[in-house]
Structure 1
Amino acid sequence: MKTVILYLTFLLMSLFSTAQEVSGITITVTTPNVTGDQGEVIYGLYDQNTFMKAAPIQAAKSNIKNGVATITFTNVPEGNYAISCFHDTNGNNRMDFEANGMPKENYGISNNNMSYGPPVWADAKFEVATENIVMEIRM
């Protein structure tokens, strides 16, 4: 009986200690140059397989205050990622484009490497290792 009680006690203690552990890294992103406080800024965290191809691994929205938006992605495992964001001025939860394919709404990507054409993985990727990350994405 003592063995059963000790085993159950150990099991409960391990469950509580595991529940309190946080796995992964926190990435905090600030966009300091949003043009106006209307709408929201929508962010997506991508790996190489999903970047510009599929839904993000994590998504987040931020209200805008004085032209600044900030979000946090939590529990991000080690690996290579990219973040894109756009200013959803009309609240339809998607990026709007002109008839010629040019974006109607401002956008940005991690590493702030903006060029003509759609964002490129090699330009936007960054590594998540063992430290929390704080970054700025400009539109």
Structure 2
Amino acid sequence: MKTLALVITMTLTTILSYSQETYTLTVSVDNVLNNNGHVLVGLHTEDTFMKGKGIKNAKAEIHEGKISVTFKDVTPGTYAVMLLHDENDNERMDLEPNGMPMESYGMSNNPMLYGPPTFADAKFELTKDTEMKIRF
């Protein structure tokens, strides 16, 4: 009986020691051009960046040109946030015939770009609860 109790205690201790702390990431935008549609927000790893949906995704309603989204239970790591003001609610970025975006977008670090974004432009380390403001 003592051996069984010892094995259970050691097993639980091992499992709990491997559990990883998680954090909360809050993303806000306060310069949405209008209240049409929604803002799509994606939390990405390098593997998902610019390839569709992120590892966590949200669809935010716009109120007076502002949105806020909170991602909970995010494990520490390197991420990038991408946002799209989906004015016509078609769940994709609309493009001009020349390939230029017709809808506003933004990403973590607020880089000023003259071409497609890269993960390196937008990446950040999540090591604590974080609040981030992104501009369109």
Contact 1:108–1:114 (CA<8 Å) still a contact in 2? Answer: no
TM-score by length of 1: 0.82
Look up the match of 1:101.
99
Show CA shifts across 1:92-128 (max 9, x none).
Answer: 1111111111001000000000211111111100001
Runs of 4+ in 1 over 2 A off after TM superposition: none
Look up the match of 2:27.
29
Contact 2:20–2:75 (CA<8 Å) still a contact in 1? Answer: no
Contact 2:43–2:82 (CA<8 Å) still a contact in 1? Answer: yes
Structure 1 alignment gaps of length 5 or more? none
Look up the match of 2:131.
134
CA distance in 1 between counterparts of 2:115 and 2:100 reads 9
Identity of aligned residues (%): 46
Alignment RMSD, CA only? 2.0
CA distance in 2 between counterparts of 1:81 and 1:117 reads 20
Contact 2:24–2:130 (CA<8 Å) still a contact in 1? Answer: yes
TM-score by length of 2: 0.83
Q: One-letter code of the match for 1:53?
A: K
Show CA shifts across 1:41-97 (max 9, x none).
Answer: 000000011111242101001111110011011111111000000101001111111
Look up the match of 1:84.
82
Report the CA distance shift for 1:61/1:22 in structure 2 as closer, same or farther (over 3 A): farther
- The reply to whether residue 44 of structure 1 matches residue 56 of structure 2 is no
SS at match of 1:111: coil
